[in-house]
Amino acid sequence: MEITKGNWEVSDSGFVRYSTFGRTTTGARKFVVNADIGIIAEAQGDTQEEADANANLIAAAPRLYTELKYIYDHILSFIEVCNDAEMVMILLRLLLEAVVLP
């Protein structure tokens, strides 16, 4: 899986009117940007707080991915050398819950 590397940051665009799929609405809009690439995503919300929360969640994606991959790799490494079948099943369940389930 390939991700856009580098820092993702939230850029302010304020409370504006914008068009989405031919529909004009009023709300807040923020952008998630990368210094090397430019705009990565646009986060919208009915309020500024909602747009901020959406943008911050998107901007955290690279860090979240890195941390989950670290946990995943270490659990797999432990499972490879573990002789305790019950412990392996517990770790596999936790890994599945962390990666697949909401």
The DSSP call for residue 65 is: H
Count the domains in the chain: 2
Q: What is the pLDDT of residues 8-37, one digit of tens each?
A: 888 875 444 445 555 556 677 888 888 787
Averaged pLDDT, 31-51: 84
For residues 63 and 5, is the Cβ–Cβ distance under 8 A? no
Q: Which residues of 5-29 are buried (b: 16+ CB within 10 A; e: fewer)?
A: eeebebeebeeeeeeeeeeeeebbb
Tokens of 15: 């409370």
Looking at residue 16, its pLDDT comes to 47
The span from the CA of 12 to the CA of 78, in Å, is 43
The answer to whether residue 66 scores a pLDDT higher than 80 is yes
Within this chain, do residues 25 and 55 fall inside the same structural domain, yes or no? yes
> Has residue 94 been placed in a domain?
yes
Q: Are residues 42 and 13 in the same domain?
A: yes
Whether the pLDDT of residue 95 is over 80: the answer is no
Looking at the fold, whether 46 and 75 belong to one and the same domain comes out as no
Within a domain: residue 14? yes
Same structural domain for residues 48 and 22?
yes
Q: Is 45 part of any domain? A: yes
Mean pLDDT of 46-63: 88
CA distance 65 to 49: 24
Q: Which amino acid is at 43?
A: A
pTM above 0.85, yes or no: no
Query: Looking at the structure, do residues 17 and 53 belong to the same domain, yes or no?
Result: yes
Provide the domain limits for residue 93: 64-99
Residue 23: inside a domain:
yes
